[in-house]
Amino acid sequence: MTNDPAPTTEHGPDAWRTRLGLKLDSGAVAEFRAALDHAGFSGEGVADAIGRDAFSGASGRRSNELLLRTCAGRPVDTLIRFFLIGSPVTPEALDGAMPNFGAERLLRSGLATQTSNALRSRFELLPVDRLLVFFDRREDEQGREHFADDYVMGVGASTRTLIASRIRRKSKTAMDLGAGCGVIALAMAEDAQTVVASDINPRAAAMTSLNATLNSITNIEPILGSYFEPVRGRPLGSIVTNPPFVISPERRYIYRDSGLPADDAVRAVCRDGAAALEEGGCMQVLCNWASTRDHPFDDRVRSWFKGTGCDAVVLVSTESTPRAYACTWISHTETDTPEEASARLDRWLAYYDSHEITAMVGGLISVRKRSAGPPNFVDVYRVPERVLTAGRMGDYILRMLESGAALAGLKTDADLGALRPAAAPDARVRQEFGPAEDGWSLLSTEISAAGSPLPPRPTDAYMSRMLMRCDGARPLSELADELASQLATDLGADPDQARAGAARLARRMIAEGVLLPGEPGVQRR
């Protein structure tokens, strides 16, 4: 990235118009948005029209199914076909759907092109929660997939994951690094005075400006520049990024390829982002990184945060072989002949071998600046892939970061035993029973928290009863003594081993957010 443009702002009144070839001012954009709202083209309206099961995957790549779901002829159906599916729509249909804007203004503004006796939208327009977001189409006018070098990517699963999982924190300055169409920056705008939306792609900065205008959001600062150069010297309260993380020998697509070897781009983002955070500030990075012959993925990610003054919770949701990973990304963008595809695959695999890469993982890295106090920690967990897209985990991840910090200075079981932990409000104990000769017997016990991204932890009836007695009033050492006595009486267990097991489980449950740590001598209810 040595040839990147110098950092410059791209939020002047005409910047997005010129770059995107549009001929409408902010007033006209407001009229366009009002016409969309009147037609019911919103997150709720589109989901109701096509079904919530189809909405999350709505795109032109499912055009046949979506066409069937939009046969009713309502204004919202017409706009779904025009903006989401990318179908040609007649001027009469558009005039009926948007009577206060209409086909002629869509053409004159540059939002649409003429195709025979119909119009096609130049951009895809997608509702995301309360936002409406423009981005580039994957298909050209003939329906063929086409990626320009400065292609601005849409709202995929990774973007939705970051929006759903972000840590909400009020701050003066936040940053969406590698903003693309700017949807993450727009989501962050309600929690920060200013959101810097940086990208090295001028077209992405322009699209972000357009989307901020479309959504009447005024505290977005689109900036051109590489990594954290645009914000050097500005402490950041929050960083959220889905950077160009694909590990490949290619340097073709700005949204995908970093220009740095292997996973060096992700390492740079993690280390430089940690340095840019203000005290207590948080960063979240959704990315891929590698395991190598000498350094598995968990050791590598831990090494990135040494000396940064940051804690980290890492949720690893995918793992791929080099071949599977290469096939996925090559098929995502390329239209090679079989011979060309085979040659490209060989080149990617040779590249991985030259960097001693044995596997690629993907996941969410969440970081919090804590430069004073006990030593920093990095906890790495494996989670099912569906977990990262299932719900809003930001508050829970922050709980894990805070609990891990509370544990960091408690090196011995005696230190831990002085705490007065309390079960988190969303803690759950589940037990399964089955029929036996003398009635019903306990088959299994699991403990978890309802909002946790982590799978339930198996335990036993004795340990679960101890955890259920954690009410913030009694020290853990007292609860462990009661457990040890009960196990010795019932099962003849060694009391010291029982106390050690109780301490291990309690430490794990605090780290995972199922127990709140409390403090020595402080009652928490």
pLDDT, one tens digit per residue, over 457-494 is 999 999 999 999 999 999 999 999 999 999 999 999 99
- pLDDT of residue 141 exceeding 60: no
Render pLDDT for 151-185 as a digit per residue (tens, 0 to 9).
898 888 888 888 888 999 899 999 999 999 999 99
- pLDDT for residue 2: 36
Which DSSP state fits 519? B
Architecture of the domain whose range is 413-516? 2-Layer Sandwich (3.30)
The arithmetic mean of pLDDT across residues 436-460, rounded, is 91
Render pLDDT for 242-300 as a digit per residue (tens, 0 to 9).
887 888 887 776 667 777 788 889 999 999 999 999 999 999 999 999 999 999 999 99
Distance CA 40, CA 182 (A): 23
Helix, strand counts (H, E) of the chain: 21, 18
Residue 498 identity: A
Q: Which of 62-76, 248-262, 351-365 has the lowest mean pLDDT?
A: 248-262
- pLDDT of residue 221 exceeding 90: yes
Q: Which class for 469: exposed (0-12), middle (13-18), buried (19 or more C-beta within 10 A)? A: middle
Q: Tell me the sheet residues that pair with 290.
A: 360
Within 13 A of 31's CA, how many CA atoms are on the CB side? 13
Q: What is the mean pLDDT of the chain?
A: 88
Higher pLDDT: 142 or 257? It is 257
Residue 17 confidence class, pLDDT cut points 50, 70, 90: confident
* Local structure of 370: helix, strand or coil: coil
Higher pLDDT: 96 or 129? It is 96
Sign of the CA dihedral with 167 first, then 173, 176, and 179 last? positive
- pLDDT of residue 6 exceeding 80: no
List the domain boundaries for the chain.
23-109, 289-405, 413-516
- pLDDT of residue 1 exceeding 50: no
Distance CA 29, CA 101 (A): 10
237 contacts 278 by C-beta, under 8 angstroms: yes
Q: For the chain, give the percent of residues with pLDDT over 70.
A: 90
Please name the residues in contact with 351: beta carbons below 8 A apart, sequence gap of 6 or more. 248, 249
- pLDDT for residue 8: 47
Sign of the CA dihedral with 103 first, then 108, 111, and 114 last? positive
The arithmetic mean of pLDDT across residues 372-390, rounded, is 87
Distance CA 252, CA 236 (A): 31
